[in-house]
Amino acid sequence: DSGVTQTPKHLITATGQRVTLRCSPRSGDLSVYWYQQSLDQGLQFLIQYYNGEERAKGNILERFSAQQFPDLHSELNLSSLELGDSALYFCASSAGGEKLFFGSGTQLSVL
């Protein structure tokens, strides 16, 4: 158990809809990272927060947004969903960038 909690584990929705993925980091970790992993693909970096502030942005679509709350949990919002957004979304937390602890992921299926 990495100590990082992601909910929900599975999400099935329709095109055009909006969903929210939630992540609770390990106790004491201030950094939260979001990654997207499509079938047989690597981990695409989306966005990183540190203690509530956005610190780095990757290839995140404008339809996607995220935030980190004062209690350090983070949410990734995906809107106007398309079939191509179907993927496994991972959250990871870290005290520094040397070692990331990953949650079990949210499998998103857009039908």
Partner 1 sequence: GQSLEQPSEVTAVEGAIVQINCTYQTSGFYGLSWYQQHDGGAPTFLSYNALDGLEETGRFSSFLSRSDSYGYLLLQELQMKDSASYFCAVSTTGGYQKVTFGIGTKLQVIP
Site residues, partner 1 (CB under 8 A): 2, 31, 33, 35, 41-45, 48, 50, 55-58, 90, 92, 94, 96-105
The least distance separating partner 1 from the CB of residue 95, rounded to whole angstroms, comes to: 10
Query: What is the 8-class DSSP label of residue 52?
Result: T
Q: How far apart are CA 54 and CA 57, in angstroms?
A: 8
Return the number of the residue (2 or 79) whose C-beta is nearest partner 1: 2
107 burial class (0-12, 13-18, 19+ CB within 10 angstroms)?
middle
Please, which residues bridge with residue 102 across strands? 92
The least distance separating partner 1 from the CB of residue 33, rounded to whole angstroms, comes to: 6
Return the number of the residue (85 or 105) whose C-beta is nearest partner 1: 105
